[in-house]
Structure 1
Amino acid sequence: MKFSRIRISSRSQRTFGEIKSHTGLTPNLLARFAICISLKEKSIPNPDEFNEEGSEIAPNVLFGEYEEIYMALILNRLKQDKLDPENYLNEMMRAHLNRGAIALSPRIKDLSDFYELVKEERNV
C-alpha cells in the first residue's frame, strides 16, 4: 500500500501560505503537523467537506523521510475508525490534512505560536 499524490483544498493552501508568510515554515512541515492534530481528534473527518482545488503534494515531499511513520499513523486510525485502508487510505489522509490545516489557522500567527503549540502537544 502506498500514498498517492494528495490535492489539498484551496482553503488549506491559503492557510499554509498565510502561516508560512508569518513563520517561514514550509507548507509540507505545516501539513505534517496538521495531519497529527487531526488524527488526535475523536471524530472522523468528512472528505466531502474539502474541495480539491488547491495544490497537489507528492508523498515524498509531504512526508519526507517519515512516510513510513505517517503510513503507520493513518493505518492505525483507519483501523480505529473501522475503515478499509484499501478504499480509504488516500481519501482519509487528505481529509485529516485539510481538517488539521483548518485547526491550525487560528492558532498560529507567528513562529512563537507554533513553538508553543508544539510544546502543548508534547505534553498531552
Structure 2
Amino acid sequence: MRYVKLNASIDASSRLRSLQQRTGLTPNLLCRVAAMLSLEEGPVGAVRAPDDKGREFNSYTLTGELTGVFGAIVRFVEEDEGRGEPLSNDEIVTRFAAHIHRGVGLLSVRAKSPADIVRLAAA
C-alpha cells in the first residue's frame, strides 16, 4: 500500500477529538487501533467512508514503517481469496480509510479511558 496523505471523514475526525480527550492518545495511534478493530470485524467491501473532508494524516505519521504491513492486512481481509482481480493500490487505500472510519465508530463506543484501549489491544 502506497499513499502520501489520507483524509478521515468529518464524523471520524469529531470522534477522534473526543477519544483523544478521554484517552490521552494521539489521533494517529487511535486510528491504528481503530483500523485493527475494524479489520477484525471483516471486510468493508466497496463501502466507503461517507466523506474525506476531515482530519488529514500523512503516511509517515499514520502508519510509518508499518505501511506495508497494514496494506497486506487490508489486502488479506478484503480480497476474495483469489477469486477475481487483485485490488489496486488506490482501492486498498480507499478500503483502509473505510476501515478507519468504521473502527473509530467502534472505538468511540468501547473506549472510555486509556485502560479500555489496553484491554482492546490485549484481547
1:89 to 2:92 alignment: yes
Deviation at 1:112, TM superposition (A): 1.2
1:113 aligned to which of 112, 116, 122: 116
- Number of aligned residue pairs: 119
Q: Return the TM-score normalized by structure 2.
A: 0.85
CA RMSD of aligned residues (A): 1.9
State the alpha-carbon separation in 2 of the partners of residues 105 and 36 from structure 1.
14
Closer/same/farther in 2, CA of residues 80 and 40 from structure 1, 3 Å limit = farther
State the alpha-carbon separation in 2 of the partners of residues 3 and 51 from structure 1.
17
State the alpha-carbon separation in 2 of the partners of residues 80 and 58 from structure 1.
29
State the alpha-carbon separation in 1 of the partners of residues 80 and 35 from structure 2.
16
Q: 1:3, 1:89 within 8 Å by CA — same for their partners in 2?
A: no
Q: Percent identity?
A: 26
1:37 to 2:40 alignment: no
Segments of 5+ residues of structure 1 without an aligned counterpart are none
In the other structure, the counterpart of 2:52 is 52
Deviation at 1:4, TM superposition (A): 3.6
Q: 1:4, 1:90 within 8 Å by CA — same for their partners in 2?
A: no
1:32-69 superposed Cα distances (whole Å, 9 cap, x missing partner): 1111111111342510x522121111111100221121
Segments of 5+ residues of structure 2 without an aligned counterpart are none
Deviation at 1:7, TM superposition (A): 0.7
Runs of 4+ in structure 1 deviating by more than 4 angstroms, as ranges, are: none
Q: Return the TM-score normalized by structure 1.
A: 0.84
Larger helix share, 1 or 2 = 1
